[in-house]
């Protein structure tokens, strides 16, 4: 019986000829990731177990991104603990203020993840790196600790769902619209503990940023991971960047999938997820021009804080003014992206329109800082979750959308089709 892309990566790292869905395995890790929220918990477990060394100080990444620059004493204490741990064990990939970025934008940029690698991270959106042909998945801080100590983790091999992408996206449609469309179709538990494998001739029409966005939100369908095959677009991105040895895996012709879907990218329209679940989707054509009034717009996050996202927002905002009473917050994903956007003149466009540009941070995405909502307020955001209270007060609302839709909505003050701005 054949294997899927994900199963082949897991088999190779478990040093097995084959694995099957549901099988429990122990596999060697190429990277262990933690952030300023999850790393302190892992450190506490590490010390409680009497550990005195890490398995490889080059294969651990500690990225301070959720509450940095530190928003309060608790945040400062967590980062201090992480920093001291990194110093003690000479963790080579520790990133803090000035060198940090949002972890799932930063790690691909740094070349710490790439084709064929196996990565776990104490953050649910670690599944992002499947865009590069890696198997990456989120784990708890205890598993992160075990990974730092041993360089290994146990997995239950996931079954898979095959998404055959055909056609070419039209107009303002981007990766965010594709994944929201899919989640709207299968639901937030439609891929529960399964691998979402994206294949087909339509993949060539999705750039790396689109793929990173789609893989990032696989967890919002309940998936264990999302993964794309390696092609020329992947190779061009990873060439000279990826620090490991790329290994390309393709699914066997007789690989078993629990379900298969064909997604015609040319038929997808700009899509918005209404509160309070990513599956609660409607296209912009189904939303009245003054149906949903908004108070805040967030453009950024590990889902949509990359340079193409900022360019898409700037294209809509150029020469326009953000609506009275609307707060628009733009958050580049990394320092490099921040600098690139600045040099390209995107900051001038944002600021002239009436937006504010932040240092890289997860900030408002999880209701941490840099854009908290009060009771009764609504935000349209390029982030990945819109659960009750996700961005602030439990009586606030979050609508998920692409950078183009978010920018258009900032101009009108209502959720808006970017074609109309």
CA nearest to 89, candidates 114, 66, 56: 56
pLDDT at residue 393, as a whole number:
95
Are 318 and 421 a contacting pair, CB within 8 Å? no
- CB neighbours of residue 98 within 10 Å: 8
pLDDT of residue 1: 77
pLDDT score of 304:
97
Bond into 69 cis (ω within 30): yes
**pLDDT less than 50: residues of the chain:** none
Domains of the chain as residue ranges with CATH = 5-264 (3.30.499.10), 270-420 (3.30.499.10)
Alpha helices in 94-189 (DSSP H): 103-110, 141-150, 175-186
What φ, ψ does residue 328 adopt, rounded to 5°?
A: -115, 120
Q: What is the model's pTM?
A: 0.96
Whole-number pLDDT of residue 68: 87
pLDDT at 152: 97
Of 1, 56, 63, nearest to 30 by C-alpha is: 56
Measured CA to CA in angstroms, residue 384 lies from 22, 85, 86, 279, 420 at distances of 28, 30, 29, 11, 25
Q: ω before 276 within 30° of 0 (cis)?
A: yes
Question: Do the beta carbons of residue 195 and residue 228 sit within 8 Å?
Answer: no
Q: Are 383 and 365 in contact (CB under 8 A)?
A: yes
């Amino acid at each position: 019986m054949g294997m899927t892309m994900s199963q082949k990566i897991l088999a190779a790292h478990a040093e097995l000829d084959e694995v099957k869905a549901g099988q429990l395995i122990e596999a060697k890790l190429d990277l262990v990731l933690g952030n300023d929220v999850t790393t302190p918990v892992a450190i506490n477990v590490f010390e409680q177990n009497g550990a005195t060394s890490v398995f490889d100080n080059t294969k651990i990444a500690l990225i301070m991104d959720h509450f940095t620059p530190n928003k309060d004493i608790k945040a400062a204490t967590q980062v201090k603990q992480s920093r001291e741990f990194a110093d003690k064990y000479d963790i080579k990939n520790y990133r803090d203020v000035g060198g940090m970025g949002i972890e799932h934008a930063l790690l691909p940029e740094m070349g710490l993840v790439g084709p064929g690698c196996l990565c776990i991270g104490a953050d649910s959106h670690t599944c992002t790196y499947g865009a590069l042909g890696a198997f990456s998945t989120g784990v708890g801080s205890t598993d992160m600790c075990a990974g730092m100590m041993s360089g290994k983790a146990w997995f239950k091999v996931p079954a898979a769902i095959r998404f055959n992408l055909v056609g070419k996206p039209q107009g303002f449609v981007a990766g965010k619209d594709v994944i929201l469309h899919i989640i709207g179709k299968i639901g937030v538990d439609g891929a529960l503990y399964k691998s979402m494998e994206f294949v087909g001739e339509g993949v060539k029409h999705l750039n790396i940023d689109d793929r990173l966005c789609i893989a990032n939100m696989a967890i919002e369908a309940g998936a264990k991971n999302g993964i794309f095959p390696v092609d020329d677009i992947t190779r061009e991105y990873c060439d000279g960047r990826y620090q490991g040895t790329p290994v390309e895996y393709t699914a066997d012709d007789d690989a078993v999938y629990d379900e298969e879907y064909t997604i015609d990218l040319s038929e997808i329209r700009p899509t918005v997820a209404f509160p309070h679940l990513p599956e609660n989707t409607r296209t912009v054509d189904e939303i009245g021009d003054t149906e949903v009034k908004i108070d805040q717009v967030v453009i950024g996050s590990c889902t949509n804080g990359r340079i193409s996202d900022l360019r898409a927002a700037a294209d809509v905002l150029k020469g326009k003014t953000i609506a009275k009473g609307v707060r628009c917050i733009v958050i580049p994903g990394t320092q490099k992206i921040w600098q690139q956007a600045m040099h390209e003149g995107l900051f001038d466009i944002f600021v002239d329109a009436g937006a504010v540009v932040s240092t890289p941070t997860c900030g408002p995405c999880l209701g941490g800082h840099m854009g908290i909502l009060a009771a009764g307020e609504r935000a349209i955001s390029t982030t990945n979750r819109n659960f009750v209270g996700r961005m602030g007060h439990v009586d606030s609302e979050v609508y998920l959308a692409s950078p183009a839709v978010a920018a258009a909505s900032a101009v009108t003050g209502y959720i808006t089709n970017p074609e109309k701005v």
